A and B are shown apart, each in its own frame.
Chain A
Amino acid sequence: MALPTYTFDAIIIGAGGAGMRAALALAESGAQVALVSKVFPTRSHTVSAQGGITCALGNVHPDDWRWHMYDTVKGSDYIGDQDSIEYMCEVGPQVVYELEHMGLPFSRLDNGRIYQRPFGGQSKDFGGDQAARTCAAADRTGHALLHTLYQRNLAEKTNVFSEWFALDLVKAADGQGFAGVIAMNIESGEAVFLHARAIIFATGGAGRIYQSTTNALINTGDGIGMAIRAGLPVQDIEMWQFHPTGIAGAGVLVTEGCRGEGGYLINKNGERFMERYAPHAKDLASRDVVARAMSLELRGGNGYDINGVSCVKLKLDHLGAELINSRLPGIRELSITFAGVDPIREPIPVVPTCHYMMGGIPTNRFGQVINVDAKGKEEVLEGLYAVGECACVSVHGANRLGGNSLLDLVVFGRAAGLDVKEKIRDLPLKSVTEAELDAAMSRLNRWDNTREGESVSQIRFEMQKTMQEDFGVFRTGEHMQQGLDKLLQLQQRLNHAAFTDHSRVFNTSRIEALELDNLMATALATAHAALYRTESRGAHSREDFPKRDDAKWLTHTVYHGEGNRMSTRAVNMKPLHVKPFEPKERVY
Chain B
Amino acid sequence: MSEAMRTVKFKIYRFNPEVDIKPSMKDYELTIPDKQDMMLLEAILRIKALDDSLAFRRSCREGVCGSDGMNINGRNGLACVTLLSSLKQPIELRPLPGLPVIRDLVVDMKVFFEQYAKVKPYLINNDPPPAKERLQSPAERKKLDGLYECILCACCSTSCPSFWWNPEKFIGPAGLLQAYRFIADSRDTAKVERLEGLTDPFSVFRCRGVMNCVEVCPKGLNPTRAIGHIRSELLAEGN
In the complex with contacts A97-B133, A140-B149, A505-B102, A103-B123 CB distance below 8 A: yes
Q: Which residues of chain B come closer than 8 Å to A43, judged between CB atoms?
A: 57, 59-60, 65-67
A40 to chain B: which residues have CB within 8 Å? 67, 109, 113, 152
In the assembled complex, B103 has its CB within 8 A of some CB on chain A: yes
Q: Look across to chain B and name the residue whose beta carbon is closest to the beta carbon of A109.
A: B138
Given contacts A154-B117, A501-B52, contact A112 B136 (CB under 8 A): yes
**Contact (A108, B59) CB under 8 Å given A144-B148, A456-B52:** no
Contact A503 B133 (CB under 8 A): no
| B195 interface residue per 8 A CB criterion | no
Chain B hits for A48, CB < 8 A: 60, 62, 64-65
| Closest partner residue, chain B, to A155 (CB atom) | B122
- Contact among B135, B152, B185 for A42, CB-based, below 8 A: B152
In Å, the complex CA distance between A113 and B141 comes to 11
A105 to B178, CA, bound (A): 13
> Of B60, B81, B188, which is in contact with the most chain A CB atoms at under 10 Å from its CB?
B60
Bound-state CA distance A509–B106 (Å) is 14
Whether B122 lies near A505 (C-beta < 8 A) is: no
How many angstroms from the CA of A500 to the CA of B51 in the assembled complex?
A: 9
Decide if A102 touches B123 in the complex (CB within 8 Å): yes
In the complex the two chains form, what is the Cα distance from A107 to B113 in whole Å? 27
Kindly state the separation between the CA atoms of A151 and B182 in the bound complex, as whole angstroms.
11
Q: Which positions 45-92 of chain A face chain B at CB distance < 8 Å?
A: 45, 47-48, 57
Complexed CA–CA distance, A264 and B129 (Å): 39
- A508 CB, min distance to chain B CBs, angstroms: 5
Q: How far is the CB of B42 from chain A (nearest CB, A)?
A: 10
A103 to B189, CA, bound (A): 12
Is B56 an interface residue when CB atoms closer than 8 A count as contact?
Answer: yes
A44 surroundings in chain B (CB, below 8 A): 59, 65
Is A147 engaged at the interface, CB distance under 8 Å to the other chain? yes
Q: Please indicate the chain A residues that have their CB under 8 angstroms from the CB of B102 in the complex.
A: 187, 505-506
Q: Are A154 and B138 in contact (CB under 8 A)?
A: no
User: A217 an interface residue at 8 Å Cβ cutoff?
Assistant: yes
**Residue in contact with A39 in the complex, picked from B18, B61, B67, B103, CB distance below 8 Å:** B67
A457-B16 in contact given A154-B117, A334-B62 (Cβ < 8 Å): no
Q: Is the CB of A100 within 8 A of B103?
A: no
A499 to chain B: closest residue by CB: B52
Min Cβ gap B112→A in Å is 10
Does A110 touch B at the CB level, under 8 Å?
yes
**Who on chain A is nearest to B50 by CB?**
A457
B60–A42 contact, CB under 8 A? no
Contact mask B55-93 → A, CB, 8 Å, 1/0? 111111111111100000000000001000000000000
Contact of B62 among A42, A155, A338, A457 (CB under 8 A): A338
Is A504 an interface residue when CB atoms closer than 8 A count as contact?
yes
* Chain B residue at minimum C-beta to C-beta distance from A153: B122
A45–B106 CB distance below 8 A: no
- Set A45, A57, A503: member contacting B19, Cβ < 8 A: A503
In chain B, positions 87-113 with a C-beta closer than 8 Å to chain A are: 102-104, 106, 109, 113
B48 lies within 8 A of chain A by Cβ: yes
Q: Tell me whether B133 and A151 are in contact (CB under 8 A).
A: no
Q: B125 to chain A: closest CB distance in Å?
A: 8
Given A47-B64, A112-B137, also A216-B59 (CB < 8 A)? yes
Q: Using A101-B134, A105-B148, A108-B138 as known contacts, say yes or no to A505 and B17 having CB atoms under 8 A apart.
A: yes
Is the CB of B208 closer than 8 A to any CB of chain A?
Answer: no
Contacts A47-B65, A48-B65, A505-B102 given: A113-B59 contact, CB under 8 Å? no
Give 3 closest A-B pairs by Cβ, nearest first.
A103-B123, A112-B135, A501-B53
> Can you report 14 A-B residue pairs in the complex whose CB atoms are below 8 A from each other?
A45-B59, A47-B65, A106-B141, A108-B136, A109-B138, A113-B135, A143-B149, A143-B151, A151-B122, A187-B102, A250-B62, A506-B103, A508-B55, A509-B53
B residues lining the A interface (CB < 8 Å): 16-19, 48-49, 52-53, 55-67, 81, 102-104, 106, 109, 113, 117, 120-123, 125, 129, 131-138, 140-141, 144, 148-149, 151-152, 182, 185, 187-188
